[in-house]
Structures are given as C-alpha cells and as structure tokens.
Chain A
Amino acid sequence: MWAAPYPAGSGKVNVSGGTAELLVHNACVFDAFTVPNSFDPTHALGIFSAIINSMKIEWSGVTRSVPGFSDATNKFRGDFFECSATIAVSATTPKDTGHGFHFESNPATTHTNFAQFGTEHSGMFF
C-alpha cells in the first residue's frame, strides 16, 4: 500500500462546483526506479530517498455522475463524479544518493485515462 500523510488542506473537493485539487510541496518519497522493483519487498535494484518538489492535480469537467452509489460487498457508499484531470509535477532524487534524477512534467500533455472525485463513507461508516 503506497499511502502517506499529506499536510492538512492539501486535498480539496468542491462537489457543488464540480472540481477538486491536490497541491503538495516537498513530500518525501522513495525512488525505486522501476515498477517491479517497487513491488519487490527486497528492492533488489535498491531504493533511495526522493522528493516531490511540487505536485498539483486539478479535477474538473464532470462527464458522469454516480450519486447515491452503494456497494455492500466492498462496504462503501457515496456520491461520485467522473471527470478529467491535469497534473503538474516536479520530482527529484538527490544527487548524493548516487542516482541523481530530476523530472519536470508538462501539464499540457496530460491525458486522462480515468478521473473522479466525490464523497465516500466506508467500513464502519458504511
């Protein structure tokens, strides 16, 4: 599970306005180089500290609404809104790791395979 805390207020959802936003600065992460190495518990290729210098994801342009959805099998319910999104991200693996690398995205190139935002209540809140 690749989850981590973001500072309070990093993520915002405006259901009535049909938008959502995630804005993160200086998030400490790990650079595992490849997808399989990331999944490998031994990280045979190594794993190094890295930083997401900044990341901004914006959700907008609702194309499909799924209000009042409920899934008893997976124990979650909520209102969900499918839409498009754009991302601007800058990430760095410091040079002193011996694997110095920097990536700077071009937000204009973003292609949305799938995006959505909404409200959710799961588990004991289902």
Chain B
Amino acid sequence: MNDEKSISWKKLQEKWLTRRNLIRGAAGTAAGAGLLLGSGLRLPALADDEDEGHRDRCKAVPRPITHISTPPGAHFFFPGPVDASPTTSPNTGHDPSVITDFSGMIANADLIFSGVGTDLNTGMSASYDFHADMRFMDGVFVGLDSERHRATIGFI
C-alpha cells in the first residue's frame, strides 16, 4: 500500500500551497487544497519530563533514528506498515518512531481532514483540507547524554 500512499503524500507536498494562496483560492468553495500541518507547524526543542523544574539544565535530547528519507532529508520513515518491503518501499513504513534507543508505546497517524481556517487580520474564513503526519512515543529513551529519560515525545 505504502508506495501508493507515499505518492499521495508527495502529491500534496508538491502543491506547495501557501496559507494565503489557500485562503484566496478556497474561499467560497467546498474545500481548500492541501497543506501539511505537520510541516507547517514546527516544534523547537526536546525535553524530558524528569528535567522539568531544573531550569539550569539542558533538556535531554533523544537520538534520531539513523534512516534518512530523501527528500526531505530527515530522520524518519513515511507512514506505513512496519513490515513493508525495503526494496519496493525503502522510505515508507518500517520504524514508526523518529527516535532510537527507545522502549515504550508508539502511535502514528497519516490523516487527511477538513476544517475552517480564519485569517485573524481580515476575518476571512475558508475551508481547508489538511494532511498531517502525527506521532507520539511514550516511554524510556537513552539520550545524547547517554542517560536514561522517561518522556512523551511528539512528532508533528
């Protein structure tokens, strides 16, 4: 399945639509075009729950999986079955986690959904279709500091 689904993901990527173009293009229509929430909203840092309250300490940073999917050249596999063929599906499926040296629970979801986006400056609203790759890893990881940490890590 995953080659096909990966192609779907790539098609959405290739639209390269800006939010503003989307508002203009989608206003008055039943649905907008694709926008990848997961890549449009980036998170800045990693931390572990154990360090909360220790503001003089750097947060623990998990080690990313070694695999790099290119494009975009980042340490993750696109969503798909863990037992996908490495020959026909080298970048889709396999490890759903984006961190290694990890033990715990995982969940991931490659979703398409709709909603209403509003430009807060103009008040103009339009329907949007979003395509999002959301994941979380909850458990123990050994970070770049070689220490064990317990945390819930999100991939968004």
Per-position binary interface string of chain B over residues 7-19, scored 1 when its CB falls under 8 Å from any chain A CB and 0 otherwise: 0110001001111
| Contact count A vs B, C-beta below 8 Å | 287
A74 within 8 Å of B by Cβ?
A: yes
Contact yes or no, A5 B120, CB < 8 A: no
In the complex, A77→B118 CA distance in Å?
43
* Assembled-state Cα–Cα distance A94/B17 (Å): 21
In the assembled complex, which residues on chain B have CB atoms less than 8 Å from the CB atom of A36? 16
Chain B residues in contact with chain A, CB under 8 A?
1-2, 5, 8-9, 13, 16-20, 35-49, 59, 62-67, 71-76, 79-83, 86, 94-121, 128, 130, 132, 134, 136-140, 142, 150-156
Task: List residues of chain A with CB within 8 A of the CB of B74.
Answer: 1, 39
Contact with B along A1-21 (1 / 0, CB 8 A): 111111111111101000010
- Residues from chain A with a CB closer than 8 A to the CB of B48 are 5
Chain A interfacial residues counted at CB < 8 A: 82
Choose from A7, A34, A113, A117 the contact partner of B106 (Cβ within 8 Å): A117
**In whole angstroms, what is the CA distance A118 to B108 when docked?**
9
The answer to whether B109 and A125 have CB atoms under 8 Å apart is no
Contact B16–A34 (Cβ < 8 Å) = yes
Query: Does A4 lie within 8 Å of B153, measured CB to CB?
Result: yes
Given contacts A105-B113, A125-B103, 5 further A-B contacts (CB under 8 A): A3-B98, A7-B49, A27-B43, A34-B19, A105-B114
CB distance from A73 to the nearest CB of B (A): 7
17 pairs, A vs B, C-beta closer than 8 Å: A2-B38, A5-B153, A30-B42, A66-B83, A71-B94, A71-B95, A87-B132, A95-B120, A100-B119, A105-B115, A106-B114, A113-B79, A114-B109, A115-B109, A118-B107, A119-B104, A122-B103
Cα separation A108 to B101 with both chains bound (whole Å) = 37
| Residues in chain B near residue A34, CB distance under 8 A | 16-19, 35, 40
Specify the chain A residue showing the minimal Cβ separation from B38.
Answer: A2
Least Cβ distance of B140 to chain A in Å? 8
